[in-house]
Amino acid sequence: MSTHETMNTTDACIACDLVPMKSSTKDKIKGTFREAKGKVKEKTGQATGNPDLRDRGTVEKAGGKVQRKIGDVKKVFEQ
């Protein structure tokens, strides 16, 4: 992972943390972002024949789905 990529991810997380919003909404936003980032890594790994990058993307995408679902569950309990 490059320094530039890390900074973009960090900037997105910081921006999400600075805006006042419910915990469930933050989880859904961060999960969606993480899922999209994983999908890009997965497709890039497939296109370049890099199984390590593909696998890391698959794991990150799955983690994003889990985080997004956690946000859905939190939303139910916040109401």
Token reading at 54: 């593909």
Listed by start position, the domains of the chain span 3-78
pLDDT in tens, 35-54: 999 999 999 999 999 999 99
pLDDT of 78 = 80
Residue 48, amino acid: T
Q: What is the DSSP string of 41-77?
A: HHHHHHHHT-HHHHHHHHHHHHHHHHHHHHHHHHHHH
Question: Which pTM was predicted?
Answer: 0.72
Closest CA to 55 of 39, 64, 74, 42: 42
